[in-house]
Each structure stands twice: as structure tokens, then as C-alpha cells.
Structure 1
Amino acid sequence: MATLLRKIGLIRLHNRDTEDPKHHHNHRGGGGGQQSASLRGKGGAKSGGHKPQQQHPAGGAGDASPGPGKGKGKRAAELAQRDKPPQPAAGAGGSLVPAARQQHCTQVRSRRLMKELQDIARLSDRFISVELVDESLFDWNVKLHQVDKDSVLWQDMKETNTEFILLNLTFPDNFPFSPPFMRVLSPRLENGYVLDGGAICMELLTPRGWSSAYTVEAVMRQFAASLVKGQGRICRKAGKSKKSFSRKEAEATFKSLVKTHEKYGWVTPPVSDG
């Protein structure tokens, strides 16, 4: 028996002498099959490319790690489990953060619009007035009561008994950081940067030209100046004057004109003129 044990010891010692020193050190440190597997590429390169599975004789005292086939399968399973993304806990779905962000945006938009309504109500010159559409704080019908009294548009309003120009403003979720969509409802206007569907050609109504500092009052004063500078008139042509503007047509027209002006530039008057 002693002779047999010595032979086994000699075989083990011979195998150790042919292994990479780092590889040998890992076994002495108790790293087991998993650590040897992680260093197989390096050990094989330094020891002349001998196969790791031949380093331990079958049934040897150091054969506590699984065989090559089992070791690879176990290692692959461990790596797959490690790299698997963590699952959210029950009741903690990913929709909580977007929901909280949406709630915050709604609060910011609501506070801003409430302040805007209060400021408009205090205007001494009654330049504009506001009515909520279906009692929605985010959908306004705005009446423009005044334009330049020296303009032909003002004369048109007097001659046709038009008390105001009616516009609709809808405010997006991220207002005031994005502009409202604004269009003319009535009367039917020609020129004055008012296009098909009642769309309005003004750079400040685009994301590129918008600033969160702009108020509804300032936007409306700019629009009034644009109407006059663009020589806007109330349409009096038979048949056409009775045709109402369409929101769908206005949205399509606005989208098209934005693309055109982003390429060739804008010609509406600056905000300072409003």
C-alpha cells in the first residue's frame, strides 16, 4: 500500500511540475475547478498548449472539481445567471417613474396656465379674453379684440361687425417648455401669415423658436402684429368666406410650412415688434 501511495504521489508531483505556476497556485489555494476554468486560456499558452482536462489523473486526490464537460456546463450556467438582468420586485414596475414624471409635468403646466389666466383677466386694455373649451385648462379659445386701428384689417372688422378674431390654443403635456398649437377659427382670413386650415406662420410657435418665457399674451400681441404686417384681410368672397377652418388641415399645413422655413428661413416680424 505504501508503494502504491508513493507512486500516486509521484504521478501527482510530475503533473504539478508540468502545470503553469499560476495554475498550480490556484489549486493550492483551494480555488477548485471554477478558478482553473477561468485561467485555462492563460495556462494553456504558457505550458505548450496541453489540455487542462489532462492535468489531473482520474480519481486523483485533486479531482474535487467536475470533469471538463460538467465544468463547462456549470460555468456557463453561472455566467448566464450572473448576467441576467434583475427582475423588478412585485408592485415596483418600471411605470412608476414615468407616472411620477407625468404627474410633475401636469402640475407645472397647470400652475403656469392658471397664472396666465389670472394675468389675462387683469389686462386693463381688454386686448384678449379666454374661454376654456369643455372646461379644460389645456384647451383655450382666445378672442383677439384689437389690432392696429390704422390697419385695413381693423377697417374690415368694423365694416363686417366682427368684434374679435377667434383662435384656439391647445397646450402640450410639456408646456411651457414646448409651444402651444395655435390656429385661427374665425373669421376666415386671407394673408397676414394665416394659411390653410387657419394655421399660423410664426417661428415662435415652433420648438426651435419657442421660449418658456413667452406668455400667451405676448404670443397674441405678436400674432396681432403679424396680421397687420402681413396685410391680413377678412375674406369676403362669396362661398369661401363661409367655409370654416379645419384643425386637421391646419396641423398638416403647419407641419409643411415648418419644414419649408427651416430650410429657407423665416420672415415673420421679430417678437420686439409685437
Structure 2
Amino acid sequence: MATLLRKIGLIRLHDRDTEDPKHHQGSLKGTKGNQKNNNIKHCNTSNNESNILSTPEIKTKKSEQSSKDKPTGKDKQGKDMKEKQQGGGKATSTSLPPLAPHRQHCTQVRTRRLMKELQEIRRLGDNFITVELSDDNLFDWNVKLHQVDKDSALWQDMKETNTEFILLNVSFPDNFPFSPPFMRVLSPRLENGYVLDGGAICMELLTPRGWSSAYTVEAVMRQFAASLVKGQGRICRKAGKSKKAFSRKEAEATFKSLVKTHEKYGWVSPPVSDG
């Protein structure tokens, strides 16, 4: 019995002594490795935003950072005022008149054209028309028509009444020569000859529809002289009516009305050859 017990004890001692110590180290390493892997896994999952937000400490830092980024009342007010000033500055810049350079260019074109026309009229050798500036205004002319067809009744009226010329006023708009001038008779008071109330002149050539920038003042006046003869114009000799002067306001209203009428029913203008 004792011998059996000793054998059993020796066997146990032998088993304990013969166990590989590396086996225990490996098992311990395995345990540590599992713990390390678990720690790594936990760190990886901690990168998730839900885990970050669930951490109280990080929540506190997050709120502190957001409070720093959020502008205070004074900063916000200053920012709003700056934006309003910038907006106001933009509004001011866009409110400037964009047509100023264009108007200046039109004025230069009109001035050059009229200066050239004045020089050409002064070179005329037949004394057909003469020009005087109204109140020294280059854009407002008083034109004297000295000649009409000498075989016409109007010419005979001029001789009998000692009328040396027919006086007209010609006003040039800002966009002349691309728009027609406004022309009206001042004196004497005429009847027929396409001269209407206020001294308005019924000619398609004087309307935007019939106007061409190539027309000169001399050409317009020759056309007018022809229309006077074609329309059998005469100097008014009726008592009282002959002394009544033409008015610009009446002429403008009459011209506006006749343009509407002729645009509806058509125009009739005598050619220059008829003069």
C-alpha cells in the first residue's frame, strides 16, 4: 500500500515537473493578447460619434467649443451693422445713373452735327434760308425761309404783304440726328399748305416713322417749301385772325393729334420735285 502511494505521488510530481513552463506562458500571453484585442476593439468603437457624444467629459468640451464659436450679442450686432452698411453701399452704387456716359455721347454727336449744318447753310449762295440761334442756344434755331416757288400764290402774297420771309422755329431733341426735330411756323399766320393750328406742320418726314438721320436742315426746309406750294398755302389776311400768333403748346398738341390720325389712315407728302 505504501509502495502504491509512493508511486502515485511520484507520478503526480513527475507530471508537474514535466509540464512545459512555456505552455503556461503561452496561455498567459493568450490571455493578455485577448485583453489587448478587446482594448483595441473598444478604442475603435470609441471613434464612433455616438460613443463620443455619450461621454460626459466630451459633451462638456463640445458645449464649451460651440459657445466659443457662437458670436456674442455685441459681435452679432456688429456683424449685422456691417452687412447693412455693405448692402447700403451696393444699393448706392447701383442707384447711380447708368445713362450719363450715353447722354454725354449723344450731346457730342448732336453738337458736332449742328455745327456742321450751320457752316453748310452759311455757304449757300442762293439765300434760300438763314439761321439765327434762339437765345444763343445751339439746339434751338429760328430759320427764315426766304424763297418759295415764284409762280405760286403764296409768293404773290409775300410780295403784296411785304413779307420778306416765313419764320420757323426748329428744336433739336437730345438724340438728334437719330430723331427728328420739332418744327413749327412762327410768322406770318398761314392757311392751308399743310400748316395747322399753332403753326404745326403736317409732314411725315418730321415724324419718327418718316425721319432719317441723313436728312439735313436744308433738305427739310426745301421739302417744307414744296409742301406749302403743293398744299396751296396762303398768308392769312382775315381781320383779327391774322394778328393772332401761333403758340408752341397748341402746335405740339396739334402735331401729336395729326400723327395719330395719319398713322391710322396713312400719309400724303408731296415730293420735292413738285415744288
Same fold judged by TM-score > 0.5? Answer: yes
Partner of residue 12, structure 2: none
Shift in CA distance, 12/120, structure 1 to aligned 2, threshold 3 Å: same
> Residues 176 and 272 of structure 1: is their aligned pair in 2 closer, same or farther, counting only changes over 3 Å?
farther
Alpha-carbon separation, structure 1, partners of 2:273 and 2:213: 16
Q: CA deviation at 1:100?
A: 1.9
**Contact 1:222-1:273 within 8 A present in 2 as well:** no
For residues 175 and 165 of structure 1, what CA distance do their matches in structure 2 show? 24
After TM superposition, the score normalised by the length of structure 2 is 0.69
Instruction: Describe the shift of the 1:257–1:5 C-alpha distance in structure 2 as closer, same or farther (beyond 3 A).
Output: farther
C-alpha RMSD over aligned residues: 3.7
Q: Cα–Cα, structure 1 residues 11 and 162, in superposed 2: closer, same or farther, change >3 Å? A: same
Task: Indicate the residue corresponding to 2:129 in structure 1.
Answer: 128
Greater percentage in helix: 2
Q: How far does residue 249 in structure 1 lie from its aligned partner after superposition?
A: 0.2
Amino acid at match of 1:128: I
Pair 1:149 & 2:150 matched: yes
Q: Pairwise mapping of residues 221-232 of structure 1 onto structure 2 (< 5 A)? A: 221-232=222-233
TM-superposed deviation, 1:270: 3.3
Matched residue, 2:110: 109
Aligned to 1:168: 169
Secondary structure of 2:202's aligned partner: coil
Extract unaligned runs of 5+ from structure 1.
14-57, 67-80
Cα distance in structure 2, aligned partners of 1:121 and 1:151: 26
- Partner-residue secondary structure (3-state), 1:109: helix
Work out whether 1:215 is the aligned partner of 2:212: no
**Deviation, structure 1 residue 87:** 4.1
Match of residue 96 from structure 2 = 94
Opposite residue 253 of structure 1, the aligned amino acid is T
Measured at CA, do residues 189 and 101 of structure 1 come closer, stay the same or move farther in structure 2, by a change above 3 Å? same
Which 4+ runs in 1 deviate beyond 6 A? 1-4, 89-93
- Which aligned pairs between 1:15-94 and structure 2 lie closer than 5 A? 87-88=89-90, 94=96
| Corresponding residue pairs, total | 221
C-alpha displacement at 1:104, in angstroms?
A: 1.4
> Does the CA contact (< 8 Å) of 2:198 and 2:249 recur in 1?
yes
Give unmatched runs, 5+ long, in structure 2: 1-37, 51-58, 68-82
CA contact (8 A) 1:165 1:186 kept: yes
TM superposition shift of 1:90: 8.0
Corresponding residue number in structure 2 for 1:70: none
Q: Does 1:237 align with 2:238?
A: yes
Offset of residue 271 of structure 1: 5.2
> Which digits, 9 at most, give the CA deviation of each residue in 1:133-173, with x for residues without a partner?
11110111000000000000000000100000000001111
Contact 2:230 2:274 in 1 (8 A): no
Contact 1:106/1:173 (CA < 8 Å) preserved in 2?
Answer: yes
Equivalent position SS for 1:139: strand
**Would the aligned equivalents of 2:226 and 2:271 in 1 still touch at CA under 8 Å?**
no
Corresponding position: 1:183 with 2:188:
no
- Alpha-carbon distance in 2 for matches of 1:162, 1:109: 32
Distance 1:7 1:107 in 2: 79
One-letter identity of the residue aligned with 1:98: L
